[in-house]
Amino acid sequence: MKTLRSTLCILVCAMFSAAFAQQSAPPAGNGPSLAATMQFIQDKMNEQGKINYALHAHDGSNGEDWPVYQISIEMTNVIADAGTCRITWHKVTTKDGQVGINRDMMLDLKAVEHVEERTSMQEAKMEDTANGHPALDKRQDPPYFVVTPRSTGNVEIPIFFKYEDTALRVAKAMTHAVELCGGGNKDKF
């Protein structure tokens, strides 16, 4: 009888230990590895090519319609480095053929607090409102989609995609990479 109680006690302790060990397992083991996630992000960003669209704008405060602008956005040489948790790329934008932005970009995933996916209209409305022009209504033809990581200090670095499904997948992958890199909102409570 004493041996049965001892065996039962050892069995119950082993079950509790196994259950406790499962509860305290780190969540980083869930999902693809950081290297695979960064490769996915790199591939999808490099696949975009040049995004061309016509920008239509109407100023609701005075009824003025702006001329239609031809805009392009292009990301090249994207490198997503799992060792440093950084994504680098070269960005070029044009308006009616004139270069606006032509520079190297860098995103440190350790500093990212949140990642959002938006439509081009949502992105334009947020930007115009922040710049003091809430009455501007912009429409992009064709529309594009934006993955926007927000870093410490409320710094946003929008990344542009032709297709919504690609933007959603990259936003999900980027959120996973941020977690694996130790970023994210650390102030949970």
Cis peptide before 149 (omega within 30 of 0): no
Quote the pLDDT of residue 146.
Answer: 96
Instruction: Please report, to the nearest 10 degrees, the dihedral formed by the alpha carbons of residues 149, 154, 158, 159 taken in order.
Output: -20
Helices (H), 24-138: 34-47, 120-130
Quote the pLDDT of residue 186.
Answer: 58
Sequence length of the chain is 189
> How confident is the prediction along the chain (189 residues), in pLDDT tens digits per residue?
444 344 334 333 433 333 333 332 334 457 899 999 999 999 999 999 999 999 999 998 999 998 899 999 999 999 999 999 999 999 999 999 999 999 999 999 999 999 999 999 998 888 888 888 888 899 999 999 999 999 988 899 999 999 999 999 999 999 999 999 999 875 544
Domain ranges of the chain: 32-180
φ/ψ of residue 37, rounded to 5: -65, -45
